[in-house]
Amino acid sequence: MAATIVDPPAWCGITSLHGGWPVTVCVSDERARLADQVQYDAGEGPCLEAMWSGAVVDVDDDEAARWWGRYHDHAREAGIHSMLSIPLEGVDRRSVGALNLYGERPNAFTGADIQRAEWCARDATRTVAHWLRKAGEAEVRKGLEGAVITRTLVEEAMGILMAQHHWDAPRAFGWLRHLSGNDARRLHEVASDVIREATRRPPVLQAPFGLHRRW
């Protein structure tokens, strides 16, 4: 519902905090999952800002460049020109996550759009609170490990492409994203193919240093 408040529809994801970790619990478009994950890895971006500050964050890509340089590179490559993050607050006013919208048009979200997104966020808060009560540690840990493994594979594949073609990091990542069609699951597969072709062996599908907080 939140994704359709603008035309064309935004990419929407809902982030929750569990054990101090940000986790994307659902998306309307897999590109939103990737946009969320890049912020978690970089430790910066509108999603994390909304959760930390408890304030609505509505920015375009130029503002993102001033505030979050590392994240802005991904947003620009992904064709994201507007970002809206609504904090989700529990009954004790503590942050439990954020509703994140990514638009392909500059200044995509009007005041009326933000109000509708806030209505959606209120409904999402109840759903996330229920999920937090029901989700077991094993389930959450499995999701986190999957996200770390995907990011590890992508970074390894980027390093290979940069060495082979003398590319910089944004160009290497952009090439992977182009082949994957901006699909987070497909990005995992494309990165694995690059590693397999370069090393003549399957990639190592494990987080080599375990899980550590980075923000």
Across 16-20, average pLDDT:
71
Query: DSSP 3-state helix, strand, coil percentages of the chain (rounded to 5)?
Result: 55, 15, 25
E strand intervals along the chain: 11-18, 21-27, 57-60, 82-89, 95-103
Whole-number pLDDT of residue 212: 41
- pLDDT exceeds 80 at position 140: no
Mean model confidence pLDDT for the chain: 82
Whole-number pLDDT of residue 102: 96
Whole-number pLDDT of residue 173: 82
Distances (CA, A) of 147 to 62, 103, 108, 152: 28, 23, 29, 9
Strand order in the sheet with 21-27: 21-27, 11-18, 95-103, 82-89, 57-60
Which tokens hold the place of 130? 């229920």
Q: What is the percent of the chain where pLDDT is above 90?
A: 31
Whole-number pLDDT of residue 56: 95
Whole-number pLDDT of residue 211: 40
Q: Which residues pair with 16 in a beta bridge?
A: 23, 97
pLDDT category of residue 215 using cuts at 50, 70 and 90: very low
- pLDDT exceeds 90 at position 110: yes
Whole-number pLDDT of residue 109: 94
Distance of CA 163 to the CA centre of its chain: 27
- pLDDT exceeds 90 at position 50: yes
Q: Which of 65-79, 92-106, 200-214 has the lowest mean pLDDT?
A: 200-214
What is the separation, in whole angstroms, between the first and last Cα of the chain? 30
Whole-number pLDDT of residue 208: 41
Across 134-158, average pLDDT:
69
Across 7-11, average pLDDT:
91
Place of tokens 């529809």: 9
Distance of alpha carbon 37 from alpha carbon 155, whole angstroms: 13
Tens digits of residue pLDDT in 112-131: 999 999 999 988 887 776 76
- pLDDT exceeds 90 at position 179: no
